[in-house]
Structure 1
């Protein structure tokens, strides 16, 4: 089941995943409580040894008391060690599961976002924030349980034992401890904004780095290495300044916390001495209280550090969740349909659409494409050709009107199901940095090797692949950089052939091919288009001659419609395009 939303609050986010495995989570809580309790019991028996040695009375009785107290103290410490070992094994199961859940949900939710989300955010920035959140889960968990909860339990049990000895002393020490915790908390919380800024600037710098590396060929083509270095270093300097500010803040907070803790520690040690002096507690009580306070002081030393570490992580988590918890703007409706088959009737009715902060591209746009009809789209750049096929695939949602497939509003169909019936061969074919076999098989994951080979043959790429040293097991590099534009395009065509969807979209599908390759591909596409609803976008008008109908778009409106021959005879806009190409002025 896909996750519907990522909690935007850090606390809600943490609780959502920590409580998802309630049995394991509360088992860890129980072992922490039990371990702290056993530690205090061992100190109680140690104090009994001191009382037996320093007391008066029969030596045999005191010796027996001291020995049995030592035995019980050792037994309790052994039990505590076993409990701590059990905690390690429970954590070993709990944490990997928790990290897998977070990773899976973040991956799923990011992919649920529309194309607009990825257009507005750099891939490096998105992946950087995902990695930051995943990397922060374990240290946050450690800080919450061992940095906050364990000291809280330790403090509670410490004051319970002191309360049993002397109520007034325990209340006085408790008040001082609560004051210390409050001040540590308030000081540590000032780390959040500087940590959030550091995480944000580091993500931005990572985004610039990934963007530059991804476009390394452009950098080399324009000899812009030094420009890119300055551009990246500018963002890294900003990130370094933010990191320096965070470290400086960390040091300042730590100093103030240490000064306050040192001052209160003096009172923690002197108050029991005073109570012993006035006869309110005996030597054994004094030893027990001092042992408890010694452990408590060490606990507070850890607490102050863990508070600051936690709020550093808190800032990083909050920065990541600001982006990654954004609501998806294209979502499936409850009860959305999953049609197994479609005929391919497509209808655009009074469609209204505009990009963010832009004028309307489509306003009351109407178009009907019958099942099995082959329609070509022609127009200047920005006329709405590519946008039309994107809204058909629900990469974006329209602001008004309706788009239907076989009479069903596409918003009533699950996005995954809708797109499974549409094969897209784009102008810029996207390939994974995987093998050729894996890239072609992406069209239909359960396809056999022979079916992949056949798709490649029909795309006129099979012979080329077999000539490679590793054949179909050849990795194509990031985005297919190891192949030429034409080779990438033919692999994308093979992938679409394998998918064999009833609706086929050709978005400048032959633009990267040479004339010889284009001829082969056109023959393959003719076979592929048989019985399918086809929408073909092309600037090379010669590729549209076989279309049943050609639609000429201008600023989101249909200005001409007809066959290739009828539009030429009309001598309108389409005729002008064709004349420019025939004269060699337009490709």
Structure 2
């Protein structure tokens, strides 16, 4: 994605260059007609005033007829351009959203950790709307420049004196407009950033409304929002005041320009440098152009604001992804997967290194349990396998292929993840399960749901599999959402399975059913399972015990209990908790 606002917009203009060119020709034709029209009006006024010819009515009718024909033809040509605009501008808007959506989805996990989703969404809308508005405003610029050029040419043709006057006048207008435009651009960019920040606060609060209700913190969130809105209001108020002074300045310049031009024309008429018809003509033309100059300045300021908004949006959206595919990245297709960490060093930004020299090898079809206190490195371990983050040093390989040499999409296709916090789309249950394999048939989706014991509660809904789950699956319980996630993983048929507390939200009865389905699901696959319920790890081939980024113990459930180390301590603490004893 282009980072420069001008290049960004130009990218889409080039795609529709023939439409833009045709519209420009239509607009220029209209402006040529608008410049000629005052000449015929001047001829009519002069003929009426002088009445020197006995057949002056015929002349008046001729001039009026020519004026009508030219005006009507120009109107048809210029207005037809609107149909072209109506066709391609919506296309540009959808293309911008599509392209930004694609670029944002290439970002790494750290990008979404640092940016609020509400702010990202708001910036996408700002970028799409301001891009199309700027292009449409560009046609106004063409319209004005065409009219200005034609008018200058006509005035220069009438008298060379007007050439010097117009040159001086344009220089003054351009200098002032440029200065005012920079002021408008600065305030427009700042207001856009504050508007996005306020919108992000609103989205963040709405996304977490259940927490707000449970903690009875509506007033706190309201105060938090009002702080952002107060800052935004001050910025917008200042911007409006600045715009008011800009408008007054431009209006005053336009008025003074018109007065100066009229007196200059009176001087030329008195000196017999121009005749009466030319006097009427040039003053009528300049009356339009003096207003046009003001309008051009105003359009320039609007363009500056739009560029400011686009620039602000691109500052957030046009970020190079931290993790990218190599040009020669390969497609990896495997039926069984061996995973190896070799001298891996990793730490999150602004934190100390978590893994300092991690070495571990996981055999194909081996079932590995991951245990440890919070912050010990379990979740980071599985995130690195999925390449949500890149290691600082060392390598992670799957079947001896460095994951940095594999296309990210190909890597993610061979990994199925059942997270602790399941994210569901506001779509039907059928669509949410089918997300594991978008080409799966309804029968395959239902079979996967049955294996995950999700079919039982799905049938209880009036609309069954056609039931919409609401925002993030709000109508489902935590256990039901996880069974949907398990059904997805079953449907995906990936050789690597990652369970992040996959049964943590299930009641005891549901867990029994799910454990049975997971046993069938795990057959013939490489499995990595994080669990706080240590009893769920009995079936693992090996358990890795993490402590402060190191694997301090490794072995089966029985072997680790016999060692009486950290695992045994955690297990006994958990058993004591379940039994209600206090040690």
TM-score range, shorter chain: over 0.9
Paired with 2:229 and 2:52, the residues of 1 have a C-alpha distance of 74
- From 104, 108, 114, the equivalent of 1:114 is 108
Post-superposition CA distance 1:81-127 (Å, at most 9, x none): 11112210111112111111111111111111111111111111111
In structure 2, distance between residues paired with 1:240 and 1:57: 65
Q: Does the CA-based 8 Å contact 1:115-1:396 persist in structure 2?
A: yes
Which has the larger displacement, 559-568 or 517-526?
559-568
CA contact (8 A) 1:337 1:414 kept: yes
Within the candidate set 487, 504, 510, 1:517 is matched to 510
Select 1:565's aligned residue among 539, 554, 558. 558
Conserved 8 A contact 1:276-1:286: yes
TM-score by length of 1: 0.95
Q: TM (normalized to structure 2)?
A: 0.96
Aligned to 1:238: 231
What is the SS of the residue equivalent to 1:469?
coil
Q: Which residue of 2 aligns with 1:102?
A: 96
What is the CA–CA distance in structure 1 between the aligned matches of 2:335 and 2:59, rounded to whole Å?
Answer: 87
Match of 2:256 in 1: 263
Instruction: Return the offset for 1:179.
Output: 1.2
CA offset digits 1:327-376 (Å, max 9, x no partner): 11111111221234453121111111111111111122112112211111
Residues 342, 254 of structure 1: alpha-carbon distance in 2 compared, 3 angstrom cutoff: farther
SS across alignment from 2:476 = coil
Deviation per CA, 1:297-353: give whole Å up to 9, x if none. Answer: 231232233233222222222211111111111111112212344531211111111
Q: Distance in 2 between matches of 1:227 and 1:123?
A: 21
Is contact 1:173-1:268 (8 Å) kept?
Answer: no
Determine whether 1:39 maps to 2:34.
yes
Choose from 328, 334, 359 the match for 1:366: 359
Could you tell me how far apart the structure 2 residues matched to 1:475 and 1:341 are?
A: 35
Per the alignment, residue 221 of structure 1 pairs with 214
Asked if the contact 2:257/2:290 (under 8 Å) is kept, the reply is no
- The residue that corresponds to 1:3 in the other structure is none
State the Cα distance separating 1:377 from its structure 2 match: 1.0
RMSD of equivalent CA atoms: 1.8
SS in 2 for 1:329: coil
The CA deviation string for residues 238-281 of structure 1, in whole angstroms up to 9 with x for no partner, is 11111111111111211122222221221122212211111111
Q: For residue 17 of structure 1, what is the aligned residue in structure 2?
A: 12
Structure 2: which 5+ residue stretches go unaligned?
A: none
- Report the equivalent of 1:280: 273
Q: Matched residue of 1:403: which SS?
A: strand
Structure 2: distance between partners of 1:447 and 1:118: 30
**CA positional deviation for 1:204:** 1.1
Aligned to 2:292: 299
Q: In the TM superposition, what is the alpha-carbon distance from 1:55 to its structure 2 partner? A: 6.0
- Aligned counterpart for 2:66 among listed residues 72, 76, 80: 72
What residue is the counterpart of 1:445 in the other structure? 438
Given that 1:159 and 1:174 are in contact with CA atoms closer than 8 Å, whether structure 2 keeps it comes out as no
Q: Structure 1: how far apart are the matches of 2:162 and 2:245?
A: 32
Task: Quote the Cα distance in structure 1 between the aligned partners of 2:58 and 2:148.
Answer: 32
**2:423 maps to which residue?**
430
Map of 2:371 onto structure 1: 378
Structure 1 match to 2:123: 129
3-state SS of 1:445 partner = coil
CA distance in 2, matches of 1:59, 1:503: 100
1:531-575 CA distances to partner (integer Å, 9 max, x unpaired)?
Answer: 111111111111111111111111211111111121122221111
Give the drift of 1:53: 4.8
Match runs of 1:247-258 below 5 Å: 247-258=240-251
SS for the counterpart of 1:520 is: helix
Where structure 1 has 5 or more consecutive residues not aligned to the other structure, the ranges are 1-5
Q: Find the aligned partners of 1:421 and 1:586 in 2 and give their Cα distance.
A: 40
Matches within 5 A, 1:175-574: 175-574=168-567
- Measured after TM superposition, the shift of residue 175 of structure 1 is 1.8
* Native 8 Å contact 1:180 1:261 kept in 2: no
Alpha-carbon distance, 1:163 to partner: 1.1
What is the alpha-carbon distance in structure 2 between the residues aligned to residue 279 and residue 443 of structure 1? 86
Q: Is the 8 A contact 1:45 1:69 kept in 2?
A: yes
In the aligned structure 2, how far is the partner of 1:546 from the partner of 1:55? 110
Equivalents in 2 of 1:83, 1:175: separation in Å? 34
Which secondary structure state, in structure 2, belongs to the residue aligned with residue 112 of structure 1? coil
**Separation of aligned partners in 1, 2:286 and 2:521:** 81
What SS does the corresponding residue of 1:479 show, helix, strand or coil?
A: helix
On the 8 A contact 1:129/1:203 being kept in 2, the answer is: yes
Aligned-partner Cα distance in 1 for 2:189–2:553? 54
Quote the Cα distance in structure 1 between the aligned partners of 2:27 and 2:392.
55
Post-superposition Cα deviations, 1:137-196, rounded to whole Å, max 9, x if no partner, equal 2322232220x3322221111010111111122221232123113212311320122222
Deviates more, 1:532-541 or 1:51-60: 51-60
Counterpart contact for 2:254–2:291, Cα < 8 Å: no
Aligned length: 580
